[in-house]
Structures are given as C-alpha cells and as structure tokens.
Amino acid sequence: MKSRTQRLDRFISRHSVYSLADTRLLLAQKRILVDGLVARSIQQKVTQFTHVVLDGECLQDNQPVYIMLNKPRGVVSATKDPKHTTVLDLIEHPQKDELHIVGRLDFNTTGLLLLTNDGSWSRKISSPESGLVKTYEVTLAGPLSDDYIAVFREGIYFGYENITTKPANLEILSDYSARLSLIEGKYHQVKRMFGFFQNEVLALHRVSVGNISLEGLEVGCSRLLTIGESLRE
C-alpha cells in the first residue's frame, strides 16, 4: 500500500478553499494546528494519520488500525472474492473496508494474519530488513532428520529466483512435525524449503510474527493489537 505523505501547504489546498500561496499567511496567523500544535512550516509533512485543524475545523482525523486474525483453513487471504470466504468477512470493524493484508497466507495455511490501514507499518512488518521472525508449525508427509536443521541454517538455493534463503531455525518436534522460524516470506517459501528434501508439507500454521502471538485467540476470531504488539511504542 502506497504511503500517503504530502506537504502541509498541498494538504491545505486540497482540503480547503485556500490556495498553496495562502498557506503561508494562515501559518503566520497561527490558524493551522497539526497534531494539536501550531503548524510551523508549509513543508511540514502530513501523513494519512496526521490530525489537522484549520480555523477550528478538523480537516483530517484518521486513526490507524492494527488487527490480528486467527485464519482458518479454507479462507482466502483477500479483501474480496466472488466464490470463497475472505479474511475480511471474518472481521467486524467499522474501518474494515480500508484494511489491507500484511503477509498473506495460502488457502489451506492457518494461523496468524495481520491487517492494517497503515502502509508504512505493513512495509516494516513485511521487510526482511526489519529482522522480524515469523514462526510456523509444520506437519510433514515424511520423517525429519537432523540434516534438515543444518541445511535450513545455511540457506537453500531457489533456482527460479536465483537466490539463497536467509538462515532459518528449525526445531524438530517429532518425526513428522517441526517449528520453523525465518525472517523472509518468499513465494511458498516454507513448502519449497521442505521440498528440497522431497518432503511434502501437509499442514502449515503461523503462530507468531515478531512479538505478536496467536496465544489465546480462537480460530476464526480477531482482535485489535495492543500498542506493544504493533511495535509503535
């Protein structure tokens, strides 16, 4: 989602009867408040969540929304779909039509899915540079061995993209199940990593992203993130 950031003078000209040139006078007369403070420059940045008041009239008061959902199997990670239930269909929030998905999950993949109307936040969450660890529980068709741990730690070459995955941590829970932690989100990455060993992924469940965990959230349910969970502290 593209970030909506603009200069204060452009914002005022688009949301009032005043022109770009008029903004300097409005500023000098201290008639503009930005986030509760008198505006200080025509070049001051206004984002989609900046609170702007002109002559006592609120021009913008958008609020960021951060939601987590425990996605069930068979639900589409999309905002609209003519044939299937979407993750947005499971959410009750007055601003839900403004939300976009942060890191989609496949049709049959379950677990933690994040939604927001904040493009900057979603880019931060999705970027490998952020270092946020995504953790999955994986059920396999074939037995696991310690060989997987070393290969996952070293990285696996994907010929189609001509890349090698970043080091990932694999914890073997049983002969056919494991917990995988990684910082990337390449196309079908988890399935392709196990595919290196010709081992089919039968079930995939995302349990956490960074410090955001599914713990206590029932399947199909959603809730707003806390300030700490949304990493805005």
Q: Which residues, at least 6 apart from 117, have a Cβ–Cβ distance to it below 8 Å?
A: 48, 62, 64, 65, 95, 98, 99, 100
9 is catalytic: no
Which of 106, 118, 147, 175 is flagged as catalytic?
A: 106
CB 118 within 8 A of CB 213: no
CB 112 within 8 A of CB 222: no
Structure tokens at 136: 């999955």
The continuous run of DSSP H or E covering 123 comes out as: helix 119-126
- Residue 55 half-sphere exposure toward CB, CA atoms < 13 A: 8
The continuous run of DSSP H or E covering 213 comes out as: strand 212-213
CB 210 within 8 A of CB 133: yes
Catalytic residues: 106
